[in-house]
Structure 1
């Protein structure tokens, strides 16, 4: 992985504690694309740096790059991997990256704190199918927990505290008639959750693919589809840029947005190619790749789902003021 300067990490801590869905230590940290300078021109193409995370969610941009969707619009992608939005958000704001990928709660937190970012394209969405989503709350096969209601009083792992994970898990507990304030959340990296669950260190865990497939291989089961419980069409992450770039070079932003929308549509209709492209930037085992549930990649974000996520986040105290979706969304 290309190491990010320490200054950006400090800026991240000042701006917000943000992550995208997360990453796994089993994933490759190598970047992809050309190594040209950001915003430079090479061979008639404009090189743009994009901060991504080596997870399933960003497969469409890798696939779109391979299919030439960006090049036909004059763009040469330089994909740089980071551990999460805590590095990517300030990297975009500072101009290190022209574009980045982050979950929607993190971006709403940033927007509500006047961090100058705005979304340019959809990122990833829930499948909308309870029990068949690419993320969910899991327990061991022999756990006495049968319903999300019973998560109250239990220790539940999430990859980042006070973000989309605990907010959505609380909604699952609430909808099932449990007390969401009684859930004890523990911060743990996704790739460590299967082992922690198996060892009994936590009672349940919110996981996304590929960790979800690993837990199922261990005999675990899904007790809540927390994304679906927030909204069946929940928009979970977005691609974004800085206000500065959006104002200075709207044509570049629109080209990136157009190519990304085409990439999302292609990924949605070519799941086998999605699994193939994952082997180029992650180290997910072949057996796990085949078993994974892929997310949905709609071309446009679902505003109603984000309004609901914003309401829940505000109730959880994540926002000092309500996020302005008109200012944030493309």
Structure 2
């Protein structure tokens, strides 16, 4: 299941067109909500626009926090206000309810609401999986004494996932089918990522689809890898992205462009500075610095692999999450 050569793109060109159109059609004030300015430094006296972000307590959120630390958002006239949520569905609900301006979710989590007609869209990518079980940072793991050794052992097991119908559940079912077992036999148990190590240790679940830093926590408990779902499907498989509401995208294009510019800079910085990623993780999670130095890091990327996203959208329809799957183009703003 090889996606090379990829169709990849970023969205800043389209955002610029939207911003120019809005400027041509609008009045003279041109500001974002609250009357503050977004986009560029705006001079020494320019106010910063507060941007509300729904995010997750996992390692791949590091790029955003690094961007805040490095001043990339401030240079675009923004100050971020992150709120940690348990999963992508809560974040998307917050976008629709205007509780968040942007949200960090997975591609599967993005596809479900768009297939159901909710007014949200993706502004940029954030991360992808690794290439092997040795370097991947989202894994299905089990306890030290479990007889499970590989994906063929998933049949009939209770699998912890952070959100039903999301990235973890769909990728786990894809892996099961590729391994020749009935994906309907899997019992999905919804729980937050931080609860997974204890749930495996207690036997509440047989295995968990965990993300870093909880992968390393489970391995430290003596746990073992069953399979790396992303790498098992295809190397460097798209995972994380940032979304906004259609209302924000159409009504505040300068804000969207400023956020996307700063977020892409943050993602590039995270990719090029793994030591900085490890240093920032303890500042926004409960993860000790020593553990942050040992975890597997995501592959940070702002490029959108449209072929792989299209394939993931097909999983939504294949496993009955939605009646008709959207395409990658349907997901992207603009």
TM bucket (normalised to shorter chain) is: 0.7 to 0.9
Q: Distance in 1 between matches of 2:205 and 2:84?
A: 29
1:66 aligns with 2:61: no
Match of 1:197 among 185, 196, 200: 200
Match of 2:310 among 307, 311, 318: 307
In structure 1, the gaps of 5 or more residues are 1-36
Q: Which moved more, 1:94-103 or 1:205-214?
A: 94-103
Q: 1:308 to 1:229 in 2, by over 3 A?
A: farther
Q: Distance in 2 between matches of 1:160 and 1:278?
A: 22
Q: 1:160 to 1:85 in 2, by over 3 A?
A: closer
- 1:145-179 residue CA offsets vs partner (Å, 9 max, x unmatched): 22211111222222222222121112222222222
Match in the other structure for 1:295: 298
* 1:115 CA drift (Å): 0.5
1:143 aligns with 2:146: yes
Match in the other structure for 1:234: 237
Match in the other structure for 2:114: 111
1:208 aligns with 2:211: yes
Q: Which moved more, 1:179-188 or 1:60-69?
A: 179-188
CA contact (8 A) 1:47 1:78 kept: yes
Q: Distance in 1 between matches of 2:141 and 2:100?
A: 35
* Residue correspondence of structure 1 range 67-216 to structure 2 within 5 A: 67-216=70-219
Q: Distance in 2 between matches of 1:83 and 1:119?
A: 19
* 1:38 CA drift (Å): 6.2
- 1:242-299 residue CA offsets vs partner (Å, 9 max, x unmatched): 1112112222211211111110010011111111111221110233212210111112
**Is the radius of gyration larger for structure 1 or structure 2?**
2
In structure 2, the gaps of 5 or more residues are 1-31, 38-44
Match in the other structure for 2:331: 328
Match of 2:50 among 47, 50, 58: 47
CA contact (8 A) 1:40 1:47 kept: no
- 1:208-260 residue CA offsets vs partner (Å, 9 max, x unmatched): 11111011101111111112223322221211111112112222211211111
Q: 1:328 to 1:297 in 2, by over 3 A?
A: same
- 1:41-100 residue CA offsets vs partner (Å, 9 max, x unmatched): 284133322222232221111111111111222222222333333332232223332211
Match in the other structure for 1:262: 265
* 1:40 CA drift (Å): 4.8
Aligned to 2:90, the other structure's residue is in SS state helix
Aligned to 1:273, the other structure's residue is in SS state helix
TM-score (norm 2): 0.82
* 1:111 CA drift (Å): 0.3
Match in the other structure for 1:275: 278
Q: Distance in 1 between matches of 2:94 and 2:223?
A: 37
Q: 1:254 to 1:203 in 2, by over 3 A?
A: same
Q: Distance in 2 between matches of 1:96 and 1:207?
A: 27
Q: 1:90 to 1:176 in 2, by over 3 A?
A: closer
Q: Distance in 1 between matches of 2:82 and 2:143?
A: 37
Alignment coverage as a number of residue pairs: 294
C-alpha RMSD of matched pairs (Å): 2.0
1:245 aligns with 2:240: no
Q: 1:225 to 1:40 in 2, by over 3 A?
A: farther
Aligned to 1:156, the other structure's residue is in SS state strand
